[in-house]
Amino acid sequence: MPLDELVITRAIMESYMDKFLGSLDSDVAIVGAGPAGLVCAYYLAQGGASVAIYERKLSVGGGIWGGGAMFNQVVIQEEAKRILDDMEISYMPYEKEEGYYLVDAVELSCALGLKAVRAGVKIFNLFTVVDVKVVGEEERVSGLVLSWTPVEMAGLHVDPITVGAKYVVDGTGHDAEVARVIQDKLGKRLNTPTGKVVGEKSMWAEFGEKSVPECTGEVYPGLFVIGMAATACYGTHRMGPIFGGMLLSGEKAAKMLLERLKG
């Protein structure tokens, strides 16, 4: 059968528009397709929620790909191993010490992305979230303002567009970019000890890993924080290239959000 370039173009445009418009008002919009965002999205979709992820870069996986200092292996601890089992991701116990498991960073990045998409999550890459949409007197977060990443990179004078969501999740990593919008643009207090993004503390893997899931939650009406964004918001310790806390944080946020969506 002859191939027609115009059919290819039409097929791409139409199916992309269907996907985008189908996510225009989702249950949950997640910013950032790092480990925390992808796990959160996967469990939300498994629980029946409609979920869209907006990711600035071309690829999903966030900080997973580079492992530790570009050695592309990551470590997961005992507590998070069950998430790897659940998502059928392979790992090897570190034979010299109990409780440490090694995962290939490439497999982890690809598998989390595949599992999320297969569960029904819609991922939109090359979108940078530049603002939030708010509603009501309390200025509750109710959506996101999106700009194409190449527009941001080129500094073009182009207006962004807006999508709605019942809840928004900040999975932007160290920079906690969405929480900072609430603090800097809206001038509102966050639900943190200082009312602001406190900023992460120095390396302490044991404490840092335990605190990531503890800090996961609603940081402002309609906005949840996960992963390193939660660490940054609540000012707990960084933990280096051990990723269990990121997975557990995503899972915990998904559980909390599914409860909220039920209510």
Ligand X SMILES: Cc1cc2nc3c(=O)[nH]c(=O)nc-3n(C[C@H](O)[C@H](O)[C@H](O)COP(=O)(O)OP(=O)(O)OC[C@H]3O[C@@H](n4cnc5c(N)ncnc54)[C@H](O)[C@@H]3O)c2cc1C
Nearest to ligand X of 91, 243 (CB atom): 243
Least distance to ligand X, CB of residue 253, Å = 11
Residue 11: CB minimum distance to ligand X, A:
27
C-beta of 50 vs 236, nearer to ligand X? 236
Decide: helix, strand or coil at residue 101: strand
Binding positions for ligand X, rule: CB under 6 A = 31-37, 54-57, 62-64, 128-129, 171-174, 177, 227-229, 238-240, 243, 246
User: Toward ligand X, which CB reaches closer, 53 or 258?
Assistant: 53
> How distant, in Å, are the alpha carbons of 200, 201, 213, 238 from that of 235?
4, 6, 13, 9
Count other Cβ atoms within 10 Å, centred on residue 82.
12
Q: What's the closest the beta carbon of residue 64 comes to ligand X, in angstroms?
A: 6
Q: Are strands 25-31 and 161-170 parallel, antiparallel or unpaired?
A: parallel
Q: How far is the CB of 72 from ligand X (least distance, A)?
A: 12
Which CB, 35 or 222, lies closer to ligand X?
Answer: 35
Name the CA dihedral angle for 147, 149, 155, 160, rounded to a multiple of 10 degrees.
Answer: -10
Q: Which CB, 49 or 248, lies closer to ligand X?
A: 248
Dist. CA 130–CA 146, nearest whole Å: 6
For residue 181, what are its two tokens?
A: 């919008």
CA atoms within 13 A on the CB side of 68: 11
Residue closest to 141 by CA, chosen among 245, 62, 222: 222
Residue 171 or 222: the one with the smaller Cβ distance to ligand X is 171
